[in-house]
């Protein structure tokens, strides 16, 4: 399947941010819960997770079911698949 330029890299960034957030979900929930508004939450998530705006937005909009072990493992598997794809395409 062919994707637009930069798609794989952005997908990796988003999946990485979501995986990191899932690993420290209590801290991330605290950041979100204590943020005055969405912009403040996004900025705090970007800083804490070292991610881009799309990565922070994915975390902010993440459903709690993503924290379940099975979902977390699927996210990690997808992340590794994208990383492998980028390596093959180089």
Q: Is residue 48 within 8 Å of residue 56, measured between CB atoms? A: no
pLDDT digits (tens, 9 = 90+) for 22-69: 999 999 999 999 999 999 999 999 999 999 999 999 999 999 998 999
Q: Is the pLDDT of residue 83 over 90?
A: yes
Residue 2 in 3-state DSSP?
coil
Q: Where are the alpha helices (DSSP H) in the chain?
A: 7-23, 25-34, 38-49, 53-60, 69-89
More confident residue, 88 or 50: 50
Q: Is the pLDDT of residue 2 over 90?
A: no
Report whether CATH 1.10.268 matches the domain 7-89: yes
The pLDDT of residue 84 is 95
The pLDDT of residue 32 is 97
């Amino acid at each position: 399947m062919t994707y637009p330029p930069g798609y794989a890299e952005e997908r990796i960034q988003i999946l990485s941010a979501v995986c990191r957030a899932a690993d420290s979900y209590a801290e991330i929930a605290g950041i979100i819960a204590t943020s005055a508004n969405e912009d403040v939450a996004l900025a705090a998530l970007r800083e804490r997770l070292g991610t881009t705006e799309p990565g922070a937005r994915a975390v902010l909009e993440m459903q709690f079911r993503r924290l379940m072990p099975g979902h977390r493992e699927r996210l990690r598997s997808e992340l590794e698949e994208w990383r492998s794809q980028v390596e093959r395409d180089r």
